[in-house]
Amino acid sequence: MAIRLGRNEYGKAEVRLVHVDRSAAAHRITDLNVSTRLRGDMVAVHTRGDNAHCLTTDTQKNAVYALAREHGVGAAEDFGLLLARHFTTEHDYIDGAGVELEQYAWQRIPTAEGPHDHAFARSGAETRTAVVTRDGDREWVVAGFDGLTVLKSAESEFRDFPKTRFTTLAETDDRLLATDITARWRYTGGRWEAGATDWDAVYEQVKAVMLETFATTRSLALQQTLYTMGEAVLREHSEIAEVRFSMPNIHHIAVDLSPFGMDNPNEVFHAADRPYGRIEAAVERDDAAGPGRAWDAIPGFV
């Protein structure tokens, strides 16, 4: 019987980096949680304890901080590309890298004189994400966000589903539709020149298209809303190959007030935290190149 090392990667998880850009009077802060994953010839490291190829996770963590000092941070996608290229080009025993970035949103504190230059409040908005994967000189970028909570109080129905002997759900042409949108979009292309893509601008545009589509689409099911949101993004952004969503259907159940002699014309709801429907799908451009390794470091999506 032969035993051998299977797939492996290693890196430093959740390096918390806060970068302050002081180049203008109004500071810019970038608050990131960065995880690295490296691949390479690691057989001897695992099987013999020979660490000659083991670029330590401590060194990886230090590189995150030092490269932030050397180059600044900018868009999460650009910083991810910088790190992935650093690890794979400066060490000949490393031939693949994945860099995951989560970005937390801060807003300038409003004051009588306008938004403050150097005081910020963490905003309750979504968490932006970017995952850069590099393999040889191929690169993939998947951007997205977690936890953008939205709700529609009208124009959501759910009807004509199968009625089995276990069905109790009533049909409705007027329900609350609420979800926490987790979205990821994969960029077409295989290598990005520095500064060629305005990642921040595309991020804001994609989010705006998703939100507007959620708001203006009469929902027949969360699945149809999800698909329409992805379709709208792909129609407006030829630089995006596919969009994946994971959306809980956060059920809002109209409370029965009849014991108190009251009606409830869809005004009073119980927001149930569990169980919840889990709706996940990818919306794809059929002529786009395959995903390659783009999704390797992104678990939890269909």
Residue 158 known to bind ligand? yes
Residue 266 known to bind ligand? no
CA angle 137, 139, 8 (to 5 degrees): 85
First to last CA, the chain: 35
Write out the binding residues for ligand URC, residues 239-278 only, by CB under 6 A. 249, 277
Q: Which one from 46, 57, 127, 188 is the annotated catalytic residue?
A: 57
Q: Is 152 a catalytic residue?
A: no
Number of residues counted as binding ligand URC (CB under 6 A): 7
Q: Which is nearer to ligand URC, 60 or 219 (CB)?
A: 219
Separation between Cα atoms, residue 109 and residue 111, nearest integer Å: 6
Residue carrying structure tokens 């990642």: 199
Copy the structure tokens of residue 43: 């057989």
Among 38, 131, 178, 221, binds ligand URC (CB under 6 A): 221
Instruction: Please answer whether residues 88 and 94 qualify as being in contact, where contact means their C-beta atoms are separated by less than 8 angstroms.
Output: yes
CA distances to 34, 80, 93, 148 from 90, rounded to whole Å, are: 19, 15, 9, 38
Instruction: Tell me: does residue 229 bind ligand URC (CB under 6 A).
Output: no
Q: Is 237 a catalytic residue?
A: no
Q: Which is nearer to ligand URC, 190 or 277 (CB)?
A: 277
Q: Is 57 a catalytic residue?
A: yes
Separation between Cα atoms, residue 205 and residue 207, nearest integer Å: 5
Residue 58 known to bind ligand? yes
Copy the structure tokens of residue 99: 């860099």
Q: Which residues are annotated as a binding site?
A: 57-58, 158, 175, 223, 249
Residues near ligand URC (CB under 6 A) are 158, 169, 221-223, 249, 277
Q: Which residues are annotated as a binding site for urate?
A: 57-58, 158, 175, 223, 249
